[in-house]
Copies of this chain bind each other. A is one copy, B any other.
Amino acid sequence: MKNNFEFQNPTKLIFGKGTIAQLATELPKNERILVTYGGGSVKQNGVYEQVCQALKGFDYVEFWGIEPNPTVETLRKAIALGKQEKVTYILAVGGGSVIDGTKLVASAIPYDGDAWELVLKPSKIGKMIPFASVLTLPATGSEMNSGAVISNAEKQEKYAFFSSFPQFSILDPTVTFSLPDFQIACGIADTFIHVLEQYLTLPGESPLMDRWSEGIMQTLIELAPQIKADKTNYDAMAEFMLCATMALNGFTAMGVSQDWATHLIGHEITALHGTTHGQTLVIVLLGTMKVMREQKKAKLLQYGTRVFNITEGTDDQRIDKTIETTEQFFRSIGLATKLSELNIGKETITTIKERFLNRDTRLGEAGNIDGNATEEILNAAL
């Protein structure tokens, strides 16, 4: 462990079958609660019913309609409702988008200005309204971290910001059984790539963090075919849910360099085309691996050896094989691996290149991925 670091994650995790009922004892009494929801799938899968049952006797108001890649436009309505109803606590019920959106709502209710200002300048966030979550889609890790990604539909922009942690999060794996296959695949991809963003950087910073990152990826590779065969396999879906939370709660990030170029480039594509986050990341990741292979050489070799058991050939051959095997893994779970498969081409690449050049964006663990390098990465992903 070469580098100094600080770590704290206070979220209480309540994990397992039948745990939504525990809302009744975990939620604080005598609060005015805002319950935030997505588009309504919780009414089909029984989650809404369980939440209503647990909330009997609590004083609450509901807000519906936080969309995938939550927009500040929608969230402003939730914030207005929260202010009007003088809510003192928020419960997010949904996937990462609902929880991400709720983090902005919790920050903005006590704030006098417009919510988008907080996304652009999180240092303006003051005292937040405490919040908790019931997670329905394993992917983003938002249930156990302080980050959120918010879109601005009007400006076609999408940015990450950091505020505070959920007080508790309830994860009942049975609620994932009814998810569409594509959402599950995107969740697996998102989880896998969260790990790589914190791993595929400099070698030798922390042997333990490396092992823990590799452990999540090895587990996902073992789980993926089991989940494909039967998405109502409780043990497998529960383990995937655990992996998704552990992949972005800081547990594998202590004292190690981080990349996040793939995410930040992916956010641009989603902002412009509305493509699903996990699917978008897969395509960008493969481009990043190809273009940054020299800089990431030592870590790519370690990743190939330990995660895919690729040990034969020259370094270059092993890296080729490692990138190829990563692509095969994503194809095996049913995801596209090329921009052209999403009908995205040169025009989008030029737009993103220019945005990054205009903002003087420099991404990656070495801060050397500018607009031009981003163009190379996206060309390699065509």
Q: How far is the CB of A334 from chain B (nearest CB, A)?
A: 22
Contact with A10, one of B10, B223, B239, B255 (Cβ below 8 angstroms): B10
- List the B residue with the shortest CB-CB distance to A19: B4
Q: Mark A208-232, 1 if CB is under 8 A from B, else 0.
A: 1001101110110011000000000
Which residues of the other chain, B, contact A19 by a CB distance below 8 angstroms? 4
CB distance A1 to B238 under 8 Å? yes
Contact with A207, one of B14, B173, B223, B241 (Cβ below 8 angstroms): B223
Copies in the complex: 2
Say yes or no for A254: interface residue by CB 8 A criterion. Answer: yes
- List the B residue with the shortest CB-CB distance to A17: B4
Q: How far is the CB of A224 from chain B (nearest CB, A)?
A: 12
Given contacts A15-B4, A15-B254, A173-B1, contact A243 B208 (CB under 8 A): yes
Say yes or no for A62: interface residue by CB 8 A criterion. Answer: no
Q: In the bound complex, what is the Cα–Cα distance between A168 and B8 (angstroms)?
A: 9
Question: Which residues of chain A from 1 to 45 have a CB within 8 Å of any chain B CB?
Answer: 1-19
Say yes or no for A246: interface residue by CB 8 A criterion. Answer: yes
Say yes or no for A152: interface residue by CB 8 A criterion. Answer: no
Listed residue (A5, A211, A216) with the most chain B CB atoms within 10 angstroms of its CB: A211
Given contacts A211-B219, A212-B212, contact A242 B1 (CB under 8 A): yes
Q: In the bound complex, what is the Cα–Cα distance between A184 and B215 (angstroms)?
A: 27
Q: How far is the CB of A322 from chain B (nearest CB, A)?
A: 19
A-B contacts, 8 of them at CB < 8 A, read A3-B16, A4-B15, A4-B16, A6-B12, A7-B13, A8-B11, A10-B10, A211-B215
Interface residues of A (CB under 8 A from B): 1-19, 168, 173, 204, 206-208, 211-212, 214-216, 218-219, 222-223, 234-235, 238-239, 241-243, 246, 251, 254-255
* 8 residue pairs, one from A and one from B, having the closest CB atoms: A4-B16, A211-B215, A8-B12, A1-B238, A10-B10, A7-B13, A208-B219, A207-B219
Beyond the given A1-B235, A6-B13, please list 7 additional residue pairs across the A-B interface where CB-CB is below 8 A. A1-B173, A2-B235, A4-B18, A5-B15, A6-B12, A7-B12, A212-B215
